[in-house]
């Protein structure tokens, strides 16, 4: 059975923490196909001030992880708020017979029961969790145990955490030299070209 891995997010901007999480999930699942899905309007956040076409362009960075990686604009094209359950249902129709996996960070696992139709998500896909902070293993195991009791399938990716946050990048909390280390190409070039986040000297 073909394995399809979905990795969604606002990606505002995508950074090496995102790259680390997806790379770890790919190593754990060994998928035949990977779909990176920038959100239109994420349900748990305010709408991004960064135009969707720029976020989509920055997501080209994920192509460096392998030929099986596709960056999709499906959620952006739908308009309105993006819900993971709808995206998984679409992929299930597009790839009949595929086993779906959903890559998420540890923060998302801890708040998973607040997601729209989270029980349906558990029926549609196996969760692949990558820790974002050192030392959170006991909390994550407890959350996974609760979701397994609800019928979910969860596996953990084993990469070391790569602490980094998009909101801190947008807020200018890193020096230009630090940002160069945290942002994969072509993200710095796109930020500079369109003067995103007021980073004039990235």
Q: How many CA atoms lie within 13 A of 42 on its CB side?
A: 16
What is the CATH code of the structural domain delimited by 3-164? 3.40.50.620
pTM of the model: 0.94
Domain ranges of the chain: 3-164
Instruction: Evaluate whether 105 touches 38 at the Cβ level (below 8 Å).
Output: no
> 74-130 pLDDT, tens per residue?
999 998 889 999 999 999 999 999 999 999 998 899 999 999 999 999 999 999 999
Q: What angle do CA 193, 8, 54 make, to 5 degrees?
A: 15
- pLDDT band, residue 202 (cuts 50/70/90): very low
Euclidean distance between CA atoms 79 and 100, whole angstroms: 24
**Closest to 98 in 3D by CA, of 35, 25, 151, 27:** 35
**Cβ-based neighbour number of residue 189 at 10 Å:** 13
Instruction: Evaluate whether 107 touches 31 at the Cβ level (below 8 Å).
Output: no
> 147-197 pLDDT, tens per residue?
999 999 999 998 999 989 999 999 888 888 888 899 999 999 999 999 999
The CA-atom distances, in angstroms, between 32 and each of 4, 27, 70, 98 are: 6, 11, 11, 10
The pair of structure tokens assigned to 191 is 């930020």
């Amino acid at each position: 059975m073909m394995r399809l891995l979905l990795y969604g997010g606002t990606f505002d901007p995508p950074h090496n923490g995102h790259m680390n999480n997806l790379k770890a999930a790919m190593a754990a699942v060994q998928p035949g196909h990977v779909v990176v899905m920038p959100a239109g309007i994420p349900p748990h956040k305010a709408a991004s001030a960064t135009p969707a076409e720029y976020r989509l362009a920055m997501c080209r960075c994920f192509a460096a992880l392998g030929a099986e990686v596709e960056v999709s604009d499906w959620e952006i094209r739908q308009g309105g708020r993006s819900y993971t359950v709808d995206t998984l249902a679409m992929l299930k129709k597009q790839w009949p017979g595929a086993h779906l996996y959903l890559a998420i960070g540890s923060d998302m696992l801890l708040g998973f029961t607040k997601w729209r139709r989270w029980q349906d998500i558990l029926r549609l896909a196996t969760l692949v969790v990558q820790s974002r902070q050192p030392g959170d293993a006991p909390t994550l195991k407890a959350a996974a145990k609760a979701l397994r009791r609800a019928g979910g399938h969860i596996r953990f990716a084993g990469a070391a955490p790569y602490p980094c946050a998009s909101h801190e990048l947008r807020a200018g909390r890193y020096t230009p030299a630090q940002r160069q280390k945290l942002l994969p190409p072509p993200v710095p070039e796109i930020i500079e070209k369109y003067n995103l986040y007021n980073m004039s000297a990235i």
